[in-house]
Amino acid sequence: MRLSCCRIWGCKVRKTKPSNKQTVADAVRKYIKDQHPGGTTLEVIEQGIRKERYWWYVPVRPHVEPVKRYEYYEALADVEEALTEHENLTVFLVPLSPE
């Protein structure tokens, strides 16, 4: 990721690529593919993705109801943190119930 210098303060600022629903969905899928809380697979619901002022709401659905819900929420928090740190994306992963 390229860095640029802020003229006023002299600090380095990350340059980000413009994001849209597709790039956000792809980034979330990239980080969520290795998460299997309680043995379930997580799916990004791309139709429900929306941008609010400074963050993206991204609905995520497990294939089956996780037995230990805290593992599910921890996995979502880990993905949110990784996206902020590595992709400079602020996302709120919205947990949905399985179909």
Q: Which domains does the chain have, with CATH numbers?
A: 18-95 (3.30.300.20)
pTM to 2 decimal places:
0.78
Tens of pLDDT, residue by residue over 7-21, are 566 555 555 556 799
CB contact at 8 A, 39 and 71: no
Q: Is 3 exposed, middle or buried (0-12, 13-18, 19+ CB in 10 A)?
A: exposed
**What's the pLDDT band for 1 if we cut at 50, 70, 90?**
very low
Tens of pLDDT, residue by residue over 30-44, are 999 999 998 899 999
**Taking residues 63-89, what's their average pLDDT?**
93
Cα separation of 29 and 21, whole Å?
Answer: 12
